[in-house]
């Protein structure tokens, strides 16, 4: 499982790959359509898609002459479960903490 998490987080570390995943949330897309909004070559996009595929975050399928990309949301489940382990702590309310410090600490530092 550690290898899978490493691959998922490595794939998610790149903003282009995160943008691709966001695009694929809507629907399956042809590789050429995935590449369209980015200012990089089709070969560069293909490398990003290869990383996402190797991590299991997307699948690619050839339909006729067109290669399609599909989001594989279950692949993020392990990463999500791992991250939820850190959600056991309540977020710190900084305003309340500041009020607490103001009542507990002397006004002039001593």
Which domains are present in the chain? 2-104 (1.10.10.10)
Name the nearest CA neighbour of 45 among 26, 18, 17: 17
Q: Does residue 110 carry a pLDDT above 50?
A: no
Q: What is the mean pLDDT of the chain?
A: 87
User: 51: helix, coil or strand?
Assistant: helix
Tokens (6 digits) for 13 = 């570390």
Q: Are 43 and 37 in contact (CB under 8 A)?
A: no
In angstroms, the CA 35 to CA 32 distance is: 5
For residue 17, how many other CB atoms are within 10 A of its CB?
A: 20
Q: Does residue 109 carry a pLDDT above 60?
A: no
In angstroms, the CA 88 to CA 69 distance is: 35
Higher-confidence residue: 95 or 63?
63
Question: Each residue of 48-92: pLDDT tens digit?
Answer: 999 999 999 999 999 999 999 999 988 888 888 888 877 765 666
Q: Does residue 1 carry a pLDDT above 70?
A: no
In angstroms, the CA 106 to CA 77 distance is: 49
For residue 40, how many other CB atoms are within 10 A of its CB?
A: 11
Helices and strands: H and E segment counts in the chain: 6, 3
């Amino acid at each position: 499982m550690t290898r899978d998490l490493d691959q998922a987080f490595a794939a998610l570390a790149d903003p282009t790959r995160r943008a691709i995943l966001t695009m694929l949330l809507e629907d399956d897309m042809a590789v050429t359509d995935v590449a369209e909004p980015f200012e990089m070559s089709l070969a560069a996009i293909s490398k990003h898609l290869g990383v996402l595929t190797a991590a299991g975050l997307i699948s690619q399928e050839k339909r006729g002459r067109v290669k399609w990309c599909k989001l594989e949301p279950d692949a993020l489940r392990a990463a999500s479960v791992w991250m939820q382990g850190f959600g056991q702590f309540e977020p710190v309310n900084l305003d309340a903490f500041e009020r607490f410090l103001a009542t507990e600490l002397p006004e002039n530092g001593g």
